[in-house]
A and B are shown apart, each in its own frame.
Chain A
Amino acid sequence: MTANELVWRIAGGSGDGIDSTSQNFAKALMRSGLSVFTHRHYPSRIRGGHTYVEIRAAPEEVKSRGDGYNCLLALGDSFARNPQDEAYYGNEEVKPLTENLDDLREGGVIVYDEGLLDDDDVEDLDERAEEEGWHVYPVDLRGLAREHGREVMRNTAGVGVTCALIDMDLDPIEELMSERMSGDILEQNIDILNMAYEQTAEKEFTHDLTVPEGSHDEDQVLVSGSTGIAYGALDEGCRFIAGYPMTPWTDVYTIMTQNLPAMGGISEQVEDEIAAAALAMGASHAGVKAMSGSSGGGFALMSEPLGLAEMNETPIVLVESMRAGPSTGMPTKPEQADLEHVLYTSQGDSNRVVFAPGTPTEAYDQTRKAFEIAYNYQIPSIVIYDQKLSGELVNVDESFFDREPNPSLGATLTEDEIEEAAHHASGKFQRYLHDPENGVSPRTIPGQKGGRFLASGNEHTPEGHISEDPANRVAQMARRERKLNAIRADLDGREQSNQTAHGEEDAEYGILTWGSQQGTVEEAVDRLNENGHSVKSLGVSDMMPYPEDEVIEFLESVDQALVVEMNASAQFRGLTQKELGRYGEKMTSLLKYNGNPFEPHEIVEGFETSINGGDLDSETTKFVPAAGD
C-alpha cells in the first residue's frame, strides 16, 4: 500500500450514472499525471440496487484494487425500492452510505447527498465516524443540481465537492465534459461543477487527504480487459463476430460490434450460443478471421461446436468471461471457477489452446496470440478471463497500441499453391494429410479452384472422407496431438513468455496464480518483501498447452508455494499437479469465492498464516493445505 494514494469510491444505484461519472473521473486523474486502477461492483439489476466504482490513483503504477478506500461520494439511489429496514433487501435508500462504511479506512472522507440521503436513517453514523476518525461532509447535491440545471446532474455536483475537498484541479474534468457534451447541458454541468467546488472550498476542512501529484512520460489511454481483448482481435484482422448477450462477455461483444461495421466487418446477434459458435466456424471456414464468446452458461452451449472445430480443424477464437457459478450463479460477480469447464468441455480428448491473461495489456497480447495460433495451427483458441479483468480500467501508454496489424489466415493456401499441393486420385484436395511434422495440414477455402474437400466431424481420411479405419484413426489423432506439442515449443521459443514473474529470482517462497489475480498478487508480494519476507510470484496464462518448464523451474526454486485463485476447488492447483505429476506437497491453496476479488491484504495475511500457522480460514478466504502427490 502506498501512503500517497487516493482511493475514491462513488456509490449509488444502478442507472444513476455511476459508471460514466467514474470513468470521467478516472480519466481526469490519469490526465493529471496519475496512474489509475478501477474496480466495479454492481448488482444484476437495471435500476436501483447497490453499486459502486472504486478508483485507486497514485503517482506510481497501480496494479490492483486497494485495501479498502479513503474517500466516498455517496449519491442517493434514485431507484431505491424499499425504504424500510425490515425489507428483504434492506433499506435501499441509504445503501449508498451504509453498504460502504465497512471498507472505509480510518480517517477517511465521506461526502453524501443530504438531498436524498437522510442520515437519521443511518443510526450509528456519528458514532462510527468518531470511532474511525472519518470526516463527514453532507451536501445537498440534488438541490444544487436542481437549482442550476437538472437533478441528474447531482453526480457533477458530487465531483465538484470531491475536487474541492481533495484539492484537485477542475481543468481536466471540464475538458472531458467539453469533449462529450455541448450546449445547455455542457454549460449547466460546468456551472454546477464550479458552484459545488466554490461552495465547498469556502468551508473549513477537518481532513488532510489530498490528491497525489504525478506525471506520465508519455500520453496515456484508459482501457479495460475487454478493450484489450477486442482491440487485440481487431489488430489480428478479426472481422466477424457472432454472439448472444450475457454478462460479462457482453462488453467484448459490444466493443467489437461498435467498431466492426466501420472496418468493413460483420457482427451477428443470433438465437443462442450454439449458433454463435457455429457461425464463427462457418465464417472462418469460408475465409474470414472470426470469433465468438460467452460467459459460463452460454459457453456450455458452445461445447459441441467447439469439439467440431477440434475435429475438422477450423481456426476460431472463443472468449469465456467467467462469473460466479454454478448455473446462473452471481451474474455480475467475478470468479475463476470455469477453468476445468473450458479446458475439458466437449466429447473426446481436448485439443485446444487456452490463455488466461492477467492484465488489460496481456489481454491484448494474448488475444492476438490466440488468433495467430488458431490460424497457424488450425485449432480453437480460447481466451478465459473474468468479470474483474473484463471491467477494470487501467492507464496504458498510448504507444502500446502502435502495432502492425496481422490479417494472415495462417496455414491457408492460395489457388497457385493448391495447384502444387497433394490431391487424391479422385481430384479431391488432401486437407488432412497424415504426415506433417508439426501437425498442420494446410487448408483451402470454398470457392478456390482445385481445393474441394469434405470437412467432417466424423473421423476422416486425408481428403476428409468419413472413415473408421484404425490405422487412419491413429494417424489423425497423433497428428492433431502433435499440434499441441508444436504450439508449446513455438510459445517457449518466443522472446516474450505469457507467464509473468515478479520479485527476486532467488526468493525463498513463491506465490502461484493465474489470470486476473496477478496484479493483486504482485502488490502482495511487494508488501511481503517490505515486511521482511522473501517472496516472488508467477502469474500463469498458458492453461493449455501447459507451460511445464516455466512452472517446474519456479516450483523447484522455492521452499513452498501459495496458490491463489478465485474458486472453491483449487482448479488451477489441480491442473498444475495433473500436468506436472508432482509438487502436491509444496502447494497450499488460498481461495476466495464470495463474489469479490482478492484485496492485497488478504493475500499478505494468507501467506503469513501459511508460513507461520494460525487460523487458516478467514471470513472471506479458505485454505486447502498442501497434500502429498
Chain B
Amino acid sequence: MSAFSAIGEERDVDQNEYTPGIEPQATWCPGCGDFGVLKALKGAMADLGKDPEEIMLVTGIGCSGKLSSYFESYGYHSIHGRSLPVARAAKLANPDLEVVAAGGDGDGYGIGGNHFMHTARENHDMTYIVFNNEIFGLTKGQTSPTSPKGHESKTQPAGSAKDPIRPLSLALTSGASFIARTAAVNPNQAKEIIKEAIDHDGFSHIDFLTQCPTWNKDARQYVPYTDIQESEDHDFDISNRREAGEAMYEAESALYEGEVLTGRFYKEENRHSYGQEKRSLGEMPEEPLAERYFDDSYEWERSYDLLDAHK
C-alpha cells in the first residue's frame, strides 16, 4: 500500500481546490501577466484531474516565485535560480509526484542558467514554466537576460550592449524534449500548452510571456499574438529538430520586432526520460524510493555485508 494516498488515479477536481484559503488574492500588480500563469495552471491541473497533494510546485525567487504561495499544493519556494535541482531530485525520489518548477527569466535564464541547461539535457519528466517579462520586476525594473538590446535601466543607463538570450533555442540545444511559448494574454492556449507539457514524458519547457505593466511599460503587452499552429505562414514539423530550430530563431527575433509568435515549437516523442534511462541502467529502483521509508517490512542493507573488500 502506498504511503502517499493523494497520488493516484485522475479524479474530478474543482479549480477552486487549487486556491489557497490563506491569502487567496495574489499581491501581483493589477494587469500583471503572472495572473495568467496562475489561472492557466489551475485550469490545466483541473482538466488533468490532479489532486493538489500529488503536485509539488517548486518556485524560484521574484514575483514569479510567489506562484507557490497562490497555488494550493505541496509548495516549495526555493532560492534564486535553484528551483530545478530541487524539483528534479524530488522527481527522482518519488517519480509518482507531479513535479512542476517555475521562475522568472532572470531566475531561469540568468542565475539558474546552468541548471536549466543540465536539467533539459537530462530530460527529467517534469514541467518548467519560465515567466518571461523581459525585466527584473520585484527589484524594480533592471535589465534582465531577455531584455532587448539597448534596454535602458538604472543598471544599464547607456542601454544594454547585450543581445537577449534565446530561450527556446537554448532549451532545444540543451536537450529539452517539449518546448513551447505562450502568453498570459492568451489564456486558452496557455492552459492547453501546460496540459500538453505535463502529459509529455520528459522535460517540458514553457517560455511564458508575462507582461509587466509596472516596470516594463514600454514593452508590448504581447498582443496581437500569433498561434503558429493556426497560422498558414508558419507551417513546420514540430518533431523535426532542424525545422523547429529555425522556427524558434524566427520567433525569438520577431518578439523584439513587435511580432508575438506563440505555440508548440518542438516535441520529441520517443526519447526516454531521465528516470527511464536510469532505471534501464539499474541505477534507480523500480519502486519509488520514498515509499521504502514507510515500508516496515523492508530489509535494509548493511555495510557489514560490504566488508569482504576490506579484508
Contact = CB atoms under 8 A, between A and B. Distances in A.
Contact of B78 (A220, A222, A308): A308
A606 B282 CA distance: 54
Nearest to B121: A271
Interface string B174-190: 00000000000000000
A414 B291 CA distance: 11
A235 B303 contact: yes
B232 interface: no
Contacts of A464: 75
Contacts of A448: 3-6, 53
A133 interface: no
B86 A278 contact: yes
B89 A308 contact: no
A230 B302 CA distance: 11
B77 A222 contact: no
Interface stretch (A203-211, A401-409, A491-499, A529-537): A401-409
Contact of A278 (B4, B53, B78, B302): B78
Contacts of A223: 310
B90 A283 contact: yes
Given A266-B289, A305-B82, A286 B56 contact: yes
A492 B284 CA distance: 39
A283 B74 contact: no
A246 to B, nearest CB: 16
B218 interface: no
Contact of A403 (B3, B56, B88, B302): B302
Interface in B181-213: none
A27 interface: yes
Given A267-B283, A278-B85, A305-B82, A447 B94 contact: yes
A221 B303 contact: no
Contacts of A457: 61, 77-79
Interface residues of B, number: 63
A274 B82 contact: yes
B75 A453 contact: yes
B96 A282 contact: no
Contacts of A308: 78-79, 82
A504 B179 CA distance: 70
A470 B283 CA distance: 47
B97 A447 contact: yes
A455 interface: yes
Contact of B300 (A290, A401, A402, A405): A405
Given A271-B118, A447-B96, A414 B294 contact: yes
B292 interface: yes
B292 A428 contact: no
Given A285-B76, A454-B68, A447 B22 contact: no
Contact of B307 (A261, A398, A452): A398
Contacts of B93: 240, 266, 282-283, 286-288, 290
B13 interface: no
B216 interface: no
Interface in B39-80: 52-54, 56, 58, 61, 66, 68-69, 72-79
Residue picked from A231, A264, A267, A458, most chain B C-beta under 10 Å: A264
A85 interface: no
B158 interface: no
A224 B78 CA distance: 36
Contact of A264 (B56, B88, B289): B289
Interface stretch (A121-129, A158-166, A419-427): A419-427
B238 interface: no
A282 B90 CA distance: 5
Interface in A438-484: 445-458, 461, 463-466
Contact of A304 (B79, B115, B302, B310): B79
Contacts of B88: 279, 282
B92 A266 contact: yes
A289 interface: yes
A298 B283 CA distance: 25
A527 B174 CA distance: 62
A450 B54 CA distance: 11
Interface string B113-124: 011011000000
A415 B21 CA distance: 21
B301 A234 contact: yes
B149 interface: no
A33 to B, nearest CB: 14
Nearest to B66: A466
Nearest to B289: A288
Interface in B228-283: 278, 282-283
Nearest to B299: A405
Nearest to A264: B285
Nearest to A239: B289
Residue picked from A27, A287, A307, A456, most chain B C-beta under 10 Å: A287
Contact of A428 (B6, B7, B20, B79): B20
Nearest to B94: A286
A305 B79 contact: yes
Contacts of B76: 282, 285, 312, 454-456
A219 interface: yes
A271 B283 contact: no
Contacts of A27: 311
B311 A447 contact: no
Given A231-B303, A266-B289, A447 B82 contact: no
A283 B92 contact: yes
Contacts of B3: 287, 414-415, 445, 447-448
A281 interface: yes
A465 B69 contact: yes
A278 B89 contact: yes
A403 to B, nearest CB: 7
A242 interface: yes
A401 B303 contact: yes
A287 B278 CA distance: 19
A426 B92 contact: no
A621 interface: no
Nearest to B111: A274
A453 B68 CA distance: 10
Contacts of B117: 271
B117 to A, nearest CB: 7
Contacts of A263: 301
Interface string B284-299: 1100011011100010
A561 B290 CA distance: 49
User: Which 4 pairs across A and B sit closest by C-beta, in order of nearness?
Assistant: A426-B21, A282-B89, A447-B4, A231-B303
8 contacts: A240-B93, A242-B89, A271-B118, A281-B89, A288-B293, A398-B307, A448-B6, A452-B53
Interface of A: 27, 31, 219-223, 227, 230-232, 234-235, 237, 239-240, 242, 259, 261-268, 270-272, 274-276, 278-283, 285-290, 304-305, 307-308, 312, 398, 401-403, 405, 407, 409, 412, 414-415, 424-428, 445-458, 461, 463-466
Given A231-B303, A278-B89, 12 more contacts: A219-B311, A234-B306, A235-B303, A268-B92, A279-B85, A282-B88, A283-B89, A447-B7, A455-B77, A456-B68, A456-B69, A465-B69
